[in-house]
Amino acid sequence: MRLGLFAMPLHHPARDTAAVIAEDREAVIVADRLGYDEAWIGEHFTSKAEPIVSPLMFLASLAPVTSKIRLGTGVVNLPHQHPAAVAAQAAFFDQLSGGRLMLGIGPGGLPSDAELFKDTDGAVRGRMMLESIEIIQAIWKGDPPYRFQGEFWDIDLKSVILPDYGVGVMPKPVQRPHPPIAIALRSPNSSTARLAGEKGWIPISANFVPSAHVATHWPLYAEGCEAAGRRPDPADWRVARSQHVTDRDEEAADYVADPEGGLAFYFRYLATVNAQRARPGPPDAATAAEIDEHVDHALATMVIAGSPKTVLDRLVHLRDEVGPFGTLLATGHDWDGRADMWRHSMTLLASEVMPKLAQHSDANRSRG
């Protein structure tokens, strides 16, 4: 059982952008110091609440100030970018980081991003993602000339090639044949879970979906692995959850219940953006009431908070409920002006909770 960090990241838009980026960098540095195995950082172009427009650029700033933690994109939204650019930049980052890249990919989920890039059809974005990652992997695998003709991209590099001078040659990652590829899972009975198994990608179950949805992911992932002749390994499965560990249960309860706190804002933001898909514009009274109900439910069921013992008990229950995931990804939330509280939470999770959760995991595996 390993521990990682997954951050969209998401902050109140009234906060200073430079301050929240510094906060997000510190969270990864703290995670590295505490022995977290990996950190995943998201990408969005059109939301001040989600200010990181390039996880590769952000993570590159952390490569020289961290030592062991693996650095993942969570995710690069492939339809919004040219695949040759992603291939080159990701390979370059893998070189810069000494082979620590994990490439999380996705079709893009923020409606304003989709409008900006004129790819609002979700089904089309799904096809674009698959075509893009095939091109990226082919570039990493091969040498020039490069020729790719698909539904969305037509790429040629054959005329200006000077092998003795390296002209025309695209960069390759350190990790061969390529860095691990990952994809996020949200829906119940997700076809993407099966696809991840077929492709050999890392499945990451999102933190903002009910545990009952998460429980459907492993069987489908395993089914995809078996269809491809690959044995499913629970160590590959990541499950993200929002967590807040405090010395006493009452401290955590007070913070979770704070309507102005970072956790409440997180779920309110997601619910509001999701509501806008069906009803663009500011929420009306009925929609606002639905959002309030969703936030209350999410805080009660999707946040694991309390003392180390309480959090451990709930994580044991979660793993027993959803299946044998190998890495717990603690969600990175806005520190809300309470940096010491969140650093302490990260420390307690790493030192007081995870060793005992690993013991439970090992005991279950032995019995299995």
Give residue 368's pLDDT.
Answer: 55
pLDDT 10s digits, 56-110: 999 999 999 999 999 999 999 999 999 999 999 999 999 999 999 999 999 999 9
207, 230 Cβ separation under 8 angstroms: no
Percent residues over pLDDT 90 in the chain: 95
Provide mean pLDDT across the span 304-320.
97
344 pLDDT more than 80:
yes
Given this model, what pLDDT does residue 77 score?
98
What residue has token string 């020729």? 147
Q: What share of the chain has pLDDT > 70, as a percent? A: 99
| Total-model pTM | 0.96
Q: How confident is the model at residue 259 (pLDDT cuts 50, 70, 90)?
A: very high
Q: What mean pLDDT, rounded, does the chain reach?
A: 96
What pLDDT is stored for residue 83 in this prediction? 98
Domain boundaries along the sequence of the chain: 2-249+303-367
pLDDT of residue 185: 98
Q: Which string of b and e fits 295-329 if b means at least 16 CB within 10 Å?
A: beebbeebbbbbbbebbbebbeebbeebbbbebbb
Q: What is the DSSP string of 279-291?
A: S-SS--HHHHHHH
pLDDT of residue 153: 98
Residue 362 has pLDDT above 90, yes or no: no
Whether the predicted pLDDT of 280 surpasses 90? no
> What would the mean pLDDT of 5-31 be, rounded to a whole number?
97
CATH class for the domain made up of 2-249+303-367: alpha beta
Give the SS3 label for residue 172. Answer: coil
Instruction: Kindly tell me the sign of the dihedral angle through the C-alpha atoms of 192, 197, 202, 203.
Output: positive
| Structure tokens belonging to residue 65 | 């100030």
Q: Which DSSP letter does residue 169 get? A: P
For 191-217, the pLDDT digits (tens) are: 999 999 999 999 999 999 999 999 999
CB-side neighbour CA atoms (13 Å) of 327: 23
The pLDDT assigned to 282 comes to: 84
Please report the pLDDT score of residue 277 as a whole number. 82
3-state helix, strand, coil in the chain (%, to 5): 50, 15, 35
Q: Beta strand pairing status for 70-77 and 154-157?
A: unpaired
Question: Which pLDDT value is given to residue 366?
Answer: 57
Q: Which two tokens stand for residue 146?
A: 């490069």
pLDDT value of position 173: 98
Sign for the CA dihedral angle at 203, 185, 88, 2 comes to: negative
